[in-house]
């Protein structure tokens, strides 16, 4: 519990009136001091009750990176059956989320920023629930140790591809299972708004009432095979550079593979494959 400036003034005023009542023997001052002390006691009981039976849970983003701020949803649940909660603040070491009013049996979510320093499976930090209710005299608080664990990927570190990481396009004549404009014929389909005119199949269109267009495969871009040993820097820097390169080239729809000292993964595409590679980097030497 922390005393606020308004609370300090209130206590000072109460003590001053108390001394005046003792020195003068004025019954009215005694009554006034009693009322002030009673109001303080009631506010203390209400403030303490306001923090009871509250439950906090975090919903991290799909991807968390070490030493990088990420948006996380924090959920506050009021487990009381009748009484609402007022002026609740959920705090971590670096950020806070405000819940002005939370009705009984209701839960609400707010977004906060969360930074975890290390990779791998990490426990979420201890959170602190605070409130100034009912009067801004005291800031009461509770500490909660969350039992949630999250997977944290290495911090991305920009860098160039090592020599020999790219396979030639001619050596890898694979069509990705995605539509594009430079591969083989995938299908003949009806024209849709936005399709380029050069994709119209005029011979098929002449035999139908609607225009027909050619849907092509996307010819595979050069695949990448990242070799952990060829990257510069310490072990953590190598992991960070791999993380950056995987994310960067995955956005270019390139097939990506990874060669670690004890394991190897062939080049492939897709979010599941990318997540698998990042997980291997996050848990490197921590299995």
| Domain locations along the chain | 1-153, 175-282
Sheet holding 85-91, edge to edge: 2-3, 138-144, 127-131, 85-91, 96-102
d(CA 206, CA 203) in angstroms, rounded, equals 5
Q: Helix, strand or coil for residue 179?
A: strand
Cα-based angle 236, 240, 244 (whole degrees, multiple of 5):
170
User: Residue 124's pLDDT is what?
Assistant: 86
The proportion of the chain whose per-residue pLDDT surpasses 90, expressed as a percent, equals 36
Mean of the per-residue pLDDT values for the chain? Answer: 83
Alpha helix segments (H runs only) across 25-80:
27-50
Average pLDDT over residues 36-44: 89
d(CA 202, CA 214) in angstroms, rounded, equals 10
Tell me: domain 1-153, CATH 3.40.720.10, correct? no
What is this structure's pTM?
A: 0.69
Q: 162 and 231 in contact (C-beta within 8 Å)?
A: yes
User: Residue 205's pLDDT is what?
Assistant: 73
Q: Helix, strand or coil for residue 240?
A: helix
d(CA 191, CA 182) in angstroms, rounded, equals 18
Q: 157 and 242 in contact (C-beta within 8 Å)?
A: no
User: Residue 74's pLDDT is what?
Assistant: 92
Range 57-63 contact pairs with CB under 8 angstroms and sequence separation of 24 or more: 57/146, 57/148, 58/114, 58/124, 58/146, 58/148, 58/150, 59/109, 60/114, 60/124, 60/150, 63/153, 63/278
If pLDDT is split at 50, 70 and 90, which confidence band does 84 have? very high
Task: Answer with the residue of higher pLDDT: 192 or 257.
Answer: 257
d(CA 101, CA 82) in angstroms, rounded, equals 13
Cα-based angle 82, 87, 88 (whole degrees, multiple of 5):
85
Strand 224-227 and strand 256-259: the pairing is parallel
**pLDDT tens-digit series, residues 158-212:** 877 776 566 544 444 444 444 544 445 556 777 665 566 667 767 767 777 777 7
């Amino acid at each position: 519990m922390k005393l606020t400036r308004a609370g300090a003034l209130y206590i000072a005023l109460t003590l001053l009136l108390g001394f005046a009542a003792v020195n003068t023997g004025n019954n009215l001052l005694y009554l006034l001091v009693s009322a002030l002390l009673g109001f303080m006691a009631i506010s203390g009981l209400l403030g303490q009750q306001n923090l009871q039976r509250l439950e906090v849970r975090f919903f991290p983003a799909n991807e968390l990176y070490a030493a990088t701020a990420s948006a996380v949803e924090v959920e506050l649940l009021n487990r009381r059956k009748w009484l609402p909660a007022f002026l609740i603040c959920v705090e971590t070491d670096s950020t806070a989320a405000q819940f002005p009013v939370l009705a009984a049996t209701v839960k609400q979510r707010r977004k906060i920023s969360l930074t975890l320093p290390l990779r791998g499976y990490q426990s979420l930090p201890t959170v602190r629930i605070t409130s100034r209710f009912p009067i801004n005299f005291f800031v009461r608080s509770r500490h909660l140790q969350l039992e949630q664990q999250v997977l944290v990927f290495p911090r991305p570190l920009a860098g160039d591809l090592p020599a020999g990481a790219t396979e030639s396009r001619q050596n890898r004549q694979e069509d990705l299972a995605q539509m594009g404009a430079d591969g083989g014929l995938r299908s003949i389909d009806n024209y849709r708004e936005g399709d380029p005119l050069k994709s119209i199949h005029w011979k098929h269109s002449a035999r139908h009432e609607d225009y027909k267009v050619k849907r092509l495969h996307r010819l595979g871009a050069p695949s990448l095979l990242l070799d952990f040993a060829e990257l510069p820097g310490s072990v953590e820097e190598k992991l960070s550079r791999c993380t950056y390169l995987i994310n960067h080239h995955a956005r270019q729809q390139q097939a990506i593979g990874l060669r670690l000292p004890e394991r190897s993964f062939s080049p492939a595409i897709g979010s599941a494959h990318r997540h698998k590679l990042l997980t291997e980097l996050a848990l490197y030497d921590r299995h």
